[in-house]
């Protein structure tokens, strides 16, 4: 038994080295251009990417061949590109929204604007409110790809039972509606809360934009200079948001549902909260998980104050072209980007994932029309995006992932009854400013 | 007399069962719940249900046969990598430990301290430097990159050295007097006697390598060299995840490592008893 085992293991080892040796690294000068595409989409979304790339390879057979490579979560993928420095392990890369400033500063990438100008590509085909996020000083740096905005999701069945007709659009209305939706167990404990939201830094950023304010200085980090400090502590936007958190938790309007969105999502699906906040991209998985238990309705992401004028900005990711210095590969990358944002592909992408179709013309495709007929809720998301404006595109900041964590930290402390809304915003501003200063000292 | 003995024995067995079954349930529940979620319909998952109303293997079929995920290949990769690392460490660590415990040479203490000092450096510190080394050597995307940095470990050397130190020095001296070479002494005396320690090291190293995530993710790009833990993360997406599919992936990944462990466990106990009798 032992002998067979060791024999088996030796064979495995040999097989392993044979596999390793069998790999050819030679790059042929002739034949199709080989491109590598890094992405960070798991599950259904990853399957959709695979399908789209396969379609591309079929269409460009003999000319361009793209290999897609999954690189873990957005954070993992970003850490990997940071680690490899300027060694360009890929030609096209999907990066999350908050990595935008870092990549612009790095100099590793080519602005897609270069090819838009060269190719005379009609930029009006791209949704202006989505393109605005990735545009700095009139230059579109990366190609929008998977874009989402936050939405308000509600339990329509519970709304009907409570006789609520109007979907809340601001927190004043949420307080009112949530009181009607709250249900108690016979022993006095809460059976269902009217409202609940995850402690997610993205929402904080969105509410700043909803108030029409800036998150950081220097025109929200989009001016000719990079951001040097946060702005939400000075313009009063931060305190208003934290007062909402404070009120919601102190008056038991909503339970504290931890960081991120997973707990809020689970509570909503289980029917333990009747209103929640989530990304548009979560619509499909929510519908699937809720099934026939209740009907899901959606509304605009709520305003902090009913008189706020502002809009939502997109989150998600975009496709970056790496500055490989090899014109042949860069030209091929541009062809690939154009294919990925073509109306047919975007309609398919939207149907499979719930991200916005970033191309205006996708709305004319049959795939899209069928999808909207099946999920009418999605129309609300599109209306919300159209009602926003490019000036609310959101901030650009090189230390965004860190600052998001800081915001969540202080929100959590407030939830634990530590400090006041004012002291929380003060702490956030202090910590984020320190991170910004450190980054700027090292990098500029 | 005999009857009371039997009764007492039965009583003890009963007591042990009564104590162990609840413990087992507590430990196994997360695993069983994982299994249960993986065969549930999606709309059942969030209903506080422990047992699915109907069993569906759709998630398994999707994970195992979907060309996008390619789990069979990833399991094979993980198996090759974990086994190579395990065998590599068993060989290098036992040889080094032999030198550090039986041989006398100049600078032995300093060298051993230097080896121990590497234990104080957390892996996260060296991961980027190691990655850059692999990049320069052009080793990315190969089994070499996945195995080479782990072929020896200070922990393994330390563990085996401590074990070898318990052997009587006279054993080595007697063997030497009889003209036994170091290699033969290793092969016919040290290794058989240290089977429990070697087995423990092997099982530990195998599982550790099997569970690696960050390193395989960094040094591999193509799907041909990806390992299982990266595979599980392929099932997850921040905006759209299917719990059932993820849990099916977890079960698929646990089964091979668990069966290896069960097998190793038997070896372990066998080795332990052999050592005990020989004293």
Q: What is the pLDDT of residues A307-357, one digit of tens each?
A: 999 999 998 899 999 998 899 999 999 999 999 999 999 999 998 888 999
Q: Are residues A346 and A415 in the same domain?
A: no
pLDDT band at B67 (very low <50, low <70, confident <90, very high): confident
B209-258 pLDDT per residue, tens:
999 999 999 999 888 899 999 998 888 876 666 788 889 999 999 888 88
Residues in a beta bridge with A96: A317
Q: Burial letters for A24-34: b for 16+ Cβ neighbours within 10 Å, e otherwise?
A: eeeeeeeeebe
Q: Are residues A131 and A73 in the same domain?
A: yes
Q: Are residues A292 and A324 in the same domain?
A: no
Give how many domains chain A has, as a whole number: 2
CA distances from B189 to A142, A247, B40 (A): 65, 73, 54
- A25 within some domain: no
Q: Are residues B100 and B158 in the same domain?
A: yes
pLDDT at residue B258 in the model: 82
Cβ <8 Å between A83 and B128: yes
Cβ <8 Å between A281 and B81: no
Residue B28 belongs to domain spanning: 2-56
The answer to whether A324 and A330 are in contact (CB under 8 A) is yes
pLDDT at residue A235 in the model: 93
Q: How far is A268 from chain B (nearest CA, A)?
A: 9
Residues of B in contact with A73 (CB under 8 A): 233, 236, 238
Which residue on chain B is closest to A150 by alpha carbon?
B239
Positive or negative: CA dihedral A277, A279, A284, A286: negative
Cβ <8 Å between A353 and B239: yes
On average, the pLDDT of chain A sits at: 89
Q: How many CA atoms within 13 Å lie on the side-chain side of A69?
A: 25
Give the pairing of strands A92-96 and A296-299. Answer: unpaired
Q: Are residues B120 and B190 in the same domain?
A: yes
| This prediction's pTM | 0.81
pLDDT band at B268 (very low <50, low <70, confident <90, very high): low
> What secondary structure does DSSP assign to A316-380, as a single string?
EEEEEEE--S-HHHHHHHHHHHHHHTSHHHHHHHHHHH-PPP-BGGGGGSHHHHHHHHH-THHHH
Residue among B192, B193, B202, B208 nearest B265 (CA): B202
> What secondary structure does DSSP assign to B70-117, as a single string?
-HHHHHHHHHHHHHHHHHHHHHHHHHHHHHHHH---TTHHHHHHHHHH
Residues of B in contact with A266 (CB under 8 A): 46
Residues of B in contact with A285 (CB under 8 A): 239-242
Q: Are residues B115 and B224 in the same domain?
A: yes
> What secondary structure does DSSP assign to A121-148, as a single string?
--GGGB-HHHHGGGEETTEE-SEEEEEE
Q: Are residues B254 and B153 in the same domain?
A: yes
Q: Which residue has the tokens 């929402």?
A: A203
ipTM: 0.77
pLDDT at residue B273 in the model: 55
Q: Are residues A368 and A408 in the same domain?
A: no
Q: Are residues B42 and B167 in the same domain?
A: no
Q: Which residue has the tokens 């849990």?
A: B247
- B133 within some domain: yes
pLDDT at residue A6 in the model: 53
> What 8-state DSSP symbol labels residue A149?
-
- B71 within some domain: no
Cβ <8 Å between B142 and A20: yes
Task: Name the burial class of residue A56, with classes exposed (0-12), middle (13-18) and buried (19+) by CB atoms within 10 angstroms of its CB.
Answer: buried
pLDDT at B93 over 90: yes
Q: Are residues A107 and A186 in the same domain?
A: no
Cα A261 to Cα B253: distance, rounded to the nearest angstrom: 26
Cα B262 to Cα B255: distance, rounded to the nearest angstrom: 10
Residues A10-20, mean pLDDT to the nearest whole number = 46
pLDDT at residue A165 in the model: 92
- B66 within some domain: no
Give the pairing of strands A64-70 and A92-96. Answer: unpaired
Categorise residue A8: left if φ over 0, alpha if ψ from -120 to 50, beta otherwise: alpha
Residue among A209, A208, A227 nearest A217 (CA): A227
On average, the pLDDT of chain B sits at: 87
B157-195 pLDDT per residue, tens:
999 999 999 888 888 999 989 999 999 999 888 988 888
Looking at chain B, the whole-number percentage of residues with pLDDT higher than 70 is 93
Cβ atoms < 10 Å from Cβ of A57: 18
What are residue A61's phi and psi, to 5 degrees? -55, 135
Residues of B in contact with A43 (CB under 8 A): 234-237, 240-242, 245-246
A156-181 pLDDT per residue, tens:
999 999 999 999 999 999 999 999 99
Residues of B in contact with A288 (CB under 8 A): 42-43, 242
Residues in a beta bridge with A93: A38, A320
Residues of B in contact with A281 (CB under 8 A): 239-240
pLDDT at residue A130 in the model: 92
Q: Are residues A305 and A337 in the same domain?
A: no
- A19 within some domain: no
A270-308 pLDDT per residue, tens:
899 999 999 998 888 888 888 888 999 999 999 999 999
The answer to whether A293 and A63 are in contact (CB under 8 A) is no
Looking at chain A, the whole-number percentage of residues with pLDDT higher than 90 is 68
Residues of A in contact with B241 (CB under 8 A): 42-43, 285
Q: Are residues A291 and A437 in the same domain?
A: yes
Q: Are residues A276 and A303 in the same domain?
A: yes
- B97 within some domain: yes
- A80 within some domain: yes
Q: Are residues B11 and B140 in the same domain?
A: no
Between A443 and A236, name the one with better pLDDT: A236
> What secondary structure does DSSP assign to A255-292, as a single string?
----BSSHHHHHHHHTTSBSEEEEEGGGHHHHHHHHTT
- A403 within some domain: yes
- B214 within some domain: yes
Long-range pairs of B130-137 with CB within 8 A, sequence gap ≥ 24? B130/B215, B131/A83, B131/A84, B131/B218, B131/B219, B132/A83, B134/B219, B135/A84, B135/A87
Q: Are residues A88 and A104 in the same domain?
A: yes
- A20 within some domain: no
Give the pairing of strands A275-279 and A150-155. Answer: antiparallel
Q: How far is B33 from chain A (nearest CA, A)?
A: 16
Q: Are residues A343 and A207 in the same domain?
A: no
Q: Which of B79, B141, B240 sits opposite A45 (nearest CB)?
A: B240
Residue among A93, A299, A61 nearest A177 (CA): A299
The answer to whether A141 and A335 are in contact (CB under 8 A) is no
Mutate to test the interface with B, among A20, A145, A149, A281 (most CBs of B within 10 A): A20
- A5 within some domain: no
- Those residues whose C-beta lies under 8 Å from the C-beta of residue A68, and which sit 6 or more positions away, are A37, A38, A39, A49, A50, A53
DSSP three-state, residue A239: helix
Cβ <8 Å between B241 and A43: yes
Cβ <8 Å between A270 and B81: no
Cβ atoms < 10 Å from Cβ of A130: 26
CA distances from B162 to A3, B115, B141, B169, B274 (A): 28, 14, 37, 13, 19
The per-type count for chain B, helices as H runs and strands as E runs, is 14, 0
Domain limit, last residue, from A371, A389, A407: A389
Q: Are residues B10 and B109 in the same domain?
A: no
Q: Are residues B26 and B153 in the same domain?
A: no
Cβ <8 Å between B241 and A83: no
pLDDT at A114 over 70: yes
Sheet holding A296-299, edge to edge: A275-279, A150-155, A296-299
Mutate to test the interface with B, among A38, A43, A80, A276 (most CBs of B within 10 A): A43
Residue among A202, A244, A264 nearest A407 (CA): A202
Residues of B in contact with A355 (CB under 8 A): 239
Q: Which of A9, A20, A288 sits opposite B42 (nearest CB)?
A: A288
Residue A282 sits in a domain of what CATH number? Answer: 3.40.190.10
Q: Which residue has the tokens 């997973």?
A: A262
pLDDT band at A12 (very low <50, low <70, confident <90, very high): very low
Q: Burial letters for A264-294: b for 16+ Cβ neighbours within 10 Å, e otherwise?
A: bbbbbbbbbbbbbbbbbbbbbbbbbbbeebb
Q: Are residues A157 and A39 in the same domain?
A: no
Between B193 and A425, name the one with better pLDDT: A425
Residue A302 belongs to domain spanning: 150-312+399-443
pLDDT at B69 over 90: no
Residues of B in contact with A289 (CB under 8 A): 42-43, 45-46
Categorise residue B236: left if φ over 0, alpha if ψ from -120 to 50, beta otherwise: beta
Which residue on chain A is closest to B40 by alpha carbon?
A289
Mutate to test the interface with A, among B43, B89, B239, B268 (most CBs of A within 10 A): B239
Q: Are residues A137 and A272 in the same domain?
A: no
pLDDT band at A4 (very low <50, low <70, confident <90, very high): low
Residue B174 sits in a domain of what CATH number? Answer: 1.10.3720.10
- A336 within some domain: yes
What are residue B268's phi and psi, to 5 degrees? -60, -50
> What 8-state DSSP symbol labels residue A28?
P
The per-type count for chain A, helices as H runs and strands as E runs, is 19, 13
Between B66 and A200, name the one with better pLDDT: A200
Cβ <8 Å between A43 and B236: yes
Q: How far is B175 from chain A (nearest CA, A)?
A: 27
Q: Are residues B84 and B51 in the same domain?
A: no
Ranges A107-111, B106-110, B257-261: which has the least confidence: B257-261
Residues in a beta bridge with A183: A192
């Amino acid at each position: 038994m032992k002998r067979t085992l060791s024999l088996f293991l030796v064979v495995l080892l040999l097989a392993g080295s044979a596999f390793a040796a069998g790999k050819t690294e030679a790059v042929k000068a002739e034949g199709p251009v080989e491109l590598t595409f890094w992405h960070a989409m798991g599950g259904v979304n990853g399957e959709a990417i695979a399908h789209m790339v396969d379609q591309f390879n079929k269409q460009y057979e003999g000319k361009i061949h793209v290999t897609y490579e999954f690189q873990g979560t957005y954070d993992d993928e970003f850490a990997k590109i940071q680690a490899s420095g300027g060694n360009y392990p890929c030609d096209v890369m999907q990066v999350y929204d908050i990595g935008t400033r870092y990549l612009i500063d790095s100099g590793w990438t080519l602005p897609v604007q270069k090819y838009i100008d060269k190719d005379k590509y009609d930029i009006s085909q791209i949704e202006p409110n989505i393109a605005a996020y990735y545009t700095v000083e009139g230059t579109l740096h990366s190609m929008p790809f998977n874009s989402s905005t936050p939405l308000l999701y509600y339990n329509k069945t519970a709304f009907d039972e409570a006789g609520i007709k109007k979907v809340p659009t601001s927190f004043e209305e949420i307080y009112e509606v949530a009181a009607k939706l709250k249900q108690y167990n016979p022993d006095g404990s809460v059976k269902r809360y009217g409202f609940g939201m995850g402690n997610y830094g993205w929402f904080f950023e969105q509410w700043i934009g909803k108030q029409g304010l800036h998150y950081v200085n220097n025109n929200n980090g989009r001016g000719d200079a990079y951001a040097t400090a946060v702005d939400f502590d000075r313009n009063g936007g931060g305190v208003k948001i934290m007062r909402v958190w404070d009120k919601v938790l102190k008056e038991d309007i909503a339970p504290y549902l931890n960081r991120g969105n997973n707990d809020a999502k689970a509570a909503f699906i289980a029917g333990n909260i009747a209103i929640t906040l989530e990304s548009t991209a979560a619509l499909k998985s929510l519908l699937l998980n809720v099934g026939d238990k209740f009907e899901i309705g959606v509304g605009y992401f709520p305003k902090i104050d009913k008189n706020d004028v502002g809009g939502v900005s997109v989150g998600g990711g975009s496709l970056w072209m790496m500055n490989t210095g090899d014109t042949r590969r860069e030209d091929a990358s541009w062809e690939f980007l154009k294919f990925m944002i073509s109306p047919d592909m975007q309609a398919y992408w939207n149907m499979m994932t719930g991200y916005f179709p970033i191309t205006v013309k996708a709305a004319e495709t049959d795939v899209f029309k069928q999808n909207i007929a099946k999920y009418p809720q999605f129309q609300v998301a599109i209306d919300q995006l159209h009602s926003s404006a490019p000036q609310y595109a959101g901030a650009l900041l090189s230390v965004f992932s860190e600052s998001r964590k800081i915001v969540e930290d202080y929100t959590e402390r407030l939830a634990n009854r530590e400090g006041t809304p004012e002291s929380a915003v003060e702490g956030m501003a202090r910590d984020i400013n320190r991170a910004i200063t450190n980054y700027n000292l090292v990098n500029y | 007399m005999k009857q009371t003995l039997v009764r007492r024995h039965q009583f003890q067995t009963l007591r042990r069962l009564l104590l162990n079954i609840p413990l087992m349930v507590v430990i196994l529940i997360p695993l069983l719940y994982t299994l249960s979620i993986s065969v549930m319909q999606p709309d059942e998952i969030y209903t506080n249900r422990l047992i699915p109303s109907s069993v569906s293997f759709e998630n398994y079929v999707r994970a195992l046969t979907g060309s996008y995920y390619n789990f069979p290949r990833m399991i094979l990769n993980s198996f090759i990598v974990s086994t190579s690392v395990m065998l590599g460490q068993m060989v290098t660590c036992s040889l080094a430990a032999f030198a550090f415990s039986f041989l006398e040479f100049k600078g032995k203490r300093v060298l051993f301290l230097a080896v121990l000092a590497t234990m104080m450096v957390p892996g996260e510190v060296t991961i980027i430097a190691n990655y850059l080394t692999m990049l320069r050597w052009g080793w990315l995307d190969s089994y070499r990159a996945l195995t080479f940095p782990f072929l020896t470990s200070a922990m393994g050397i330390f563990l085996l050295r401590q074990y070898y130190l318990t052997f009587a020095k006279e054993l080595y001296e007697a063997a030497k007097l009889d003209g036994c070479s170091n290699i033969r002494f290793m092969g016919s005396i040290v290794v058989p006697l240290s089977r429990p320690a070697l087995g423990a090291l092997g099982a530990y190293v195998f599982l550790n390598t099997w569970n690696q995530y960050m390193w395989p993710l960094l040094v591999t790009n193509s799907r041909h060299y990806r390992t299982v833990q990266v595979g599980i993360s392929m099932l997850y997406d921040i905006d759209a995840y299917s719990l059932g599919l993820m849990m099916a992936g977890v079960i698929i990944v646990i089964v091979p490592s668990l069966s290896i462990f069960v097998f190793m466990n038997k070896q372990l106990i066998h080795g332990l008893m052999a050592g005990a009798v020989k004293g």
